[in-house]
Amino acid sequence: MNREERLLLIDSLLDGSIDEANLLRIEAELSVDPQVRQEYYRRLQLDILLKREAESGSSVTAEVVETFNRLPMESKRVPSSAPGKLVKILAGSLVAIAATMLLVVSVNRAIVPSGGDVRGDSIATSREPSASGFAVLGGLEDAIWAGAPIAVGDLLPTGELHLKSGRVHIELFSGVQLVLEGDSIFSIDSPMQVTMASGSARARVPEPAQGFRIKTSSGDVVDLGTEFSVDVDDSGADVHVVDGEVELHPHRSDSLRIEAGVSRRLVGTGGIANASTATSVAIGPSEFDDLRQQQQKQRLAHWTAARAAMAMDPRAVAHFQFTSGVSNSRQVENLARGASRPASDGTTVVASRTLDRWGRHDAALDFSRVGSRVRVNVPGEHRGLTLMCWVKINSLDRWYNSLFLTDGHDDREPHWQLMDDGRIFFSVKVPASIAGEHKSGAMAQQVFYSPQVWDASWSGRWVMLAVTYDVDQARVTHYVNGEAISSESIPEDMLVDSIRIGPASICNWSDPKYQTDPQFVLRNLNGSMDEFALYSGALPADEILQWYRDGDSGEL
């Protein structure tokens, strides 16, 4: 959102003409950006002074002029798309002032969470998105890192890395594929260079990356194509050429070119000698991929058994795996069988079938096309709620990107979606009988935002998201990949102890079915989903973590 848009929304808020969608939008900006809050305060000051002068019938006083002069230049602009805004402000009445002040109090209540982890800095930025690193972790096998763990799909940080045990598959941006085995200490210096202090590695180098170099304390290994390995210890480095040839550059003697099947050792004294072992202990990328596929089959079998047991859980109201024996079927079976009143089967609209997180064809749904959704009806009332899903997001190119939304947004109904800045949004509409008659529309809900959980570096990666609405503990908790990332208390006058859902959409939003206006806002998720579950009541944290562990495919 640029400054012009922000000023327009702030002015709409002040004169009471703002709609619910834009109120939530400016609320999100106010909750994370202190500069926007200061801008809002300045416009409010000027608004109140101008109204006071208009009502008194007197000319503009020095106080108004002084307040106006203190504003930065950008705050003095009236947005070009709203030339009548200043006229409306000047024509305000005492009733409008009272309504404005009530709205300010309500907005402040809605945007100041009551105990969660709130970001004080602005998430939005006008800069082009960027990331840092030269390589991505493509896979791992029983890997244990010294320090913070690195997950599949993560950019590898610069600086020294220590793989204590296990294996990892690293993909450099040059196209080089590298398999390392612990115990290995190394650093990725660039897309074309890795430094190894100790350990074993095997590199496959494509033609565009010829010249790739592995540096050791005993000398350098320069690839001339196509695959080689190094085993580094305190006294030197064994080099084995699997295919193609490499050039050895010892520190104190001439370079040596060796071909496939030949092994040599860079010795600590600076020369070249026969290798201490005939072959490398490191496996190559192809062998690593074979092992990964075997492990994935085992994980899939475990997940299938675990999900079968979950189907009989009486708390499970809906459980969808978006697979079908018939590729053109639009029905999605609700696998939950234990609930007294389960949700209906789902009906796919527009969304097309695609690969799931296990790599299976026609086992996930791509919701990127406009209008895509899965329609479902969830009966009954629920004391608390748990929503969980596995999604792969391409981009967050809408203001709101749906995960699960009820039709419209009536009393006691939940909305779960992603903001365009990467935060998760969850709310339950509070009836006026609970919130008070002075609150209505967008004011009759408490929005619970997570910290930013998604940015461009996560594009195309599978992630498990979950949220719980716990009535007994009066808390909302957001989860990513089984771990709680934020937890916030629910104010007493915003606690809904009986949640209703009814007709709803997965990965989109539908206006009520009696809607006759063909215009609609775009909230379909630009991405894929292969599993969705809805539980009556709030699941404990350990069950959500187990849900993730059972369903983690290990894929990007």
What range does the domain containing 21 cover? 1-44
- CA distances to 10, 73, 188, 202, 460 from 156, rounded to whole Å, are 42, 44, 8, 18, 17
Mean pLDDT over each residue of the chain, to the nearest integer: 81
In this prediction, residues 231-243 reach a mean pLDDT of: 92
Say if 102 falls within a structural domain. Answer: no
pLDDT of 318 reads: 96
Among residues 227, 252, 287, the one where a domain terminates is 287
Residues 243 and 317 in one domain: no
DSSP 236: E
Over residues 431-459, the mean pLDDT reads 74
Q: What confidence score (pLDDT) does residue 269 get?
A: 82
pLDDT of residue 444: 56
Q: Is the pTM of this model over 0.85?
A: no
pLDDT surpassing 90 at residue 279: no
**Is the domain of 402 the same as that of 274?**
no
pLDDT tens track for 158-184? 899 999 999 999 999 999 999 999 899
What integer is the mean pLDDT of 524-533?
A: 94
- Is 107 among the domain residues? no
Among 287, 320, 355, where does a domain finish?
A: 287
Mean pLDDT of 140-150: 89
Same structural domain, 320 and 253: no
Task: Average the pLDDT over 271-300 and give the result.
Answer: 82
Q: Among the listed ranges 281-285, 373-377, 397-401, 525-529, which one has the minimum average pLDDT value? A: 281-285
Q: Angle at the Cα of 303 (from 299 to 306), degrees rounded to 5?
A: 140
Enumerate residues 6+ apart whose C-beta is below 8 A from 65.
none
Rounded average pLDDT over 112-131 = 44
Do 325 and 241 share a domain, yes or no?
A: no
- Do 199 and 267 have their domain in common? yes
- Asked whether residue 248 is assigned to any structural domain, the reply reads yes
What's the pLDDT at 512?
53
Q: What is the mean pLDDT of residues 92-121?
A: 38
Model confidence at 49, pLDDT cuts 50, 70, 90, reads low
Average pLDDT of 318-347?
86
Q: Where are the alpha helices (DSSP H) in 190-343?
A: 285-310
Q: Given pLDDT bands bounded at 50, 70 and 90, which one contains residue 76?
A: very low
* Least confidently predicted of 39-53, 167-181, 196-210, 531-545: 39-53
Instruction: Give, in order, the Cα–Cα distances in Å from 374 to each of 214, 316, 414, 477.
Output: 51, 18, 17, 25
Q: Residues 280, 343: one domain?
A: no
Q: What is the mean pLDDT of residues 139-153?
A: 88
Angular region, 207: left φ>0, alpha ψ -120 to 50, beta rest: alpha
Using the 8-state DSSP alphabet, how is residue 68 labeled? Answer: H
| Closest to 349 (Cα-Cα) out of 323, 327, 375, 325 | 375
pLDDT at 104: 41
Is residue 503 in some structural domain?
yes
Residue 498: the pLDDT is: 93
Is the peptide bond prior to 183 cis by the omega test (within 30 degrees of 0)? yes
222 pLDDT more than 70: yes
298 domain-assigned: no
Q: Is the pLDDT of residue 5 over 50?
A: yes
Check residue 91 and give its pLDDT. Answer: 34
Helices (H), 184-225: none
What was the pLDDT predicted at 518?
Answer: 54
Percent of the chain's residues with pLDDT above 90: 50
Q: Domain count for the chain, please give it.
A: 3
Q: Does 384 or 90 have the greater pLDDT score?
A: 384
Is residue 266 domain-shared with residue 324, that is, in the same domain?
Answer: no
Asked whether residue 502 is assigned to any structural domain, the reply reads yes
pLDDT in tens, 7-38: 788 877 877 778 777 777 777 777 667 777 77
Residue 534 belongs to some domain of the structure = yes
Tell me: do 192 and 281 sit in the same domain: yes
Residues 253 and 320 in one domain: no
Cα separation, 225 vs 207, in Å, equals 7
Mean pLDDT of 286-295: 84
244-to-169, 205, 220, 223, 409 alpha-carbon distances in Å: 21, 10, 17, 9, 64
pLDDT tens by residue, 469-512: 999 999 999 999 999 999 999 999 899 999 999 999 999 988 65
pLDDT at 542 over 70: yes
Q: What is residue 16's DSSP assignment?
A: T
174-215 pLDDT, tens digit each: 999 999 998 999 999 999 999 999 999 999 999 999 999 999
The verdict on residue 52 lying in a domain is: no
Cα 382 from chain centroid (whole Å): 27
Query: What is the CATH number for 266?
Result: 2.60.120.1440
